[in-house]
Structure 1
Amino acid sequence: MGNREALLAGAKRCLYEKGYGRTTARDIATASGVSLAAIGYHFGSKDALMNTALLDAIGEWGEALGAALSDAAYVHATPEERFVAGWDRVLESFVEHRGLWVAQFEMMAYLEHAPELKEALAGAQKDARLGLSALFQGKPEVPDSATELSRGTFYQALVAGVAAQWLVAPDQVPSGRELFRGLQIVSASVLDGA
């Protein structure tokens, strides 16, 4: 592993353990076993490295969730079973990736002062939404369609909301079954009035 990769791995470790704002350049250098000067050489700044680490960690969470949702039992389930099982697996992923979720919510407070991170996250929104739609619904018939984007937007909002609830009170977060029941109730009340 080269210095760049070691720095990125060290920054991700710090992100999970210390958070976004409390990680110093020295913390990253210590965690990676690489000199402080290497941060500037490879990434330009500690903030640029932390932003890269955060985006990379989010991608790793998506890959881990994708792997958890790709087993045959999940893929061949009914839409209701897939929704319930998928959300239960999302909740399990929060436990494994707790540091990432803490860091993401903490990072939101820095966005107004980190335009490059805000721009990077905004640029990744469409791909994130399409990815979430594919994770929960399976391979789309028309990738990148308005339907897939709308569905992904819904899932993205739900993931963020459930993550926030889980961080505050893990014992009160709704299960996949409870989320499905809530979806049924809201859908019925909205569609009946449409």
Structure 2
Amino acid sequence: MAKPTAVIKFRAKLSRPAIPKGAAWTFLVLPVAASAKLPTRSMVTVEGRFEDRPFQATLEPDGHGSHWLKIDKALREAAGVAAGDSVALEIAPVEKEPEPKVPADLRKALASNADAKATWADITPVARRDWIHWITSGKKAETRGKRIATACDKLACGKRNACCFDRSGMYSKGSMGAPEAAE
């Protein structure tokens, strides 16, 4: 059984993304030392406090061995902070990963393939999240459609994990990573 991670405390700069222009959300990149205390270099759901406001979110790999966190407008405004501010966080991995939101097109494809749906129901929330991330990380609608078909075929054959998926973002060509900060 994995040993629970202690609360990780740090400060980070809040940035606005360069794309999409005018985004209402902001983000921060965890300091490497804080990220190193997490149990994985891949996506990990945490709960904690953002400027003393409770939150739960999934950290994403930044592609450089650390993680980044998207801060929605509501949390940022509740905390009374703005892009450019240094913010205080306290985080810890959740005890049980939450179920990911299944996109409608994938849900429809799984519903029409009983064997794929059975494997999907039997895998962990983390494995389901990885399949969803692999499918949705395609930049073109055509790619997404092909990935859904491939996922259903592989799941129907009992494959439980998305093959050749770089969960850390360190070895893929830009499919994962922190957004570029606006100037």
Select the structure with the greater relative contact order (CA < 8 A; seq sep ≥ 6): 2
TM-score (norm 2): 0.28
The structure richer in helix per residue is 1
The structure richer in strand per residue is 2
